[in-house]
Amino acid sequence: MDKKDIMRRAIALSEESVKKGGGPFGAVIAKEGEIIAEASNSVTLDHDPTAHAEVNAIRKATKKLNTFDLEGCEIYTSCEPCPMCLGAIYWAHLDRIYYANDRKDAERIGFDDDFIYKEIALKPQDRHKQMEILLPEEAKKAFEMWENNTAKTEY
C-alpha cells in the first residue's frame, strides 16, 4: 500500500471510532507498506485515559511482532500525536510519523494537547500539577541494581 492509502485507513478508523462512541482518532502502524496493526481511540469505551489510537496500535504491533522495538515501522495517525503518544512513539522506536489533522485542529474541537506540550517545557515547580521529590535516596537502589545488572535487556 502507498502512504496515502495507509493514511486513509487511519482516517477511516477515526470516523469508525466516533460512530462507536470513541474519540475521533485512528492510527495504523506499517512496515514496508504492509499494515502491521491498526487501532482507534477507546478512552471512553475502555475507561482508560491512555487508550489513545497510537498507544493502542503500538500495543497491537508489539504483540504481533513479539518485540518492544518497532524500528523499521512507521505510524500513520489521523491527528498529530499528543505528548503521551509522541513519547510512546519514541519509546517504541518507530521510524517516522505521518499525521493528518494537527494539534490546533484538535484544540478547536476540545482536545487541548497544546496545553500539555507547553507544560512539559516548564520547570517542574512552574507546572500546574504540583510536583515534589520524595525519597530519592531510597529510590536510587533500583537504579543501581539496573546499572549493575549484566543480564538486563536494554531498551
Q: Is 54 a catalytic residue?
A: yes
Exactly one of 54, 71, 107, 154 is catalytic; name it. Answer: 54
97: left (phi over 0), alpha (psi -120 to 50) or beta: beta
Grid cell 500495543 — which residue?
59
CB 63 within 8 A of CB 110: no
Quickly count helices (H) and strands (E) in the chain. Answer: 7, 4
Grid cell 535487556 — which residue?
153
Q: Which of 88, 85, 58 is nearest to 73 (CA)?
A: 58
> Residues with Cβ < 8 Å from 127, sequence gap 6 or more?
119
Q: Which of 44, 53, 43 is nearest to 101 (CA)?
A: 53
Q: All 3 cell numbers of residue 106?
A: 484538535
Active-site residue set: 54
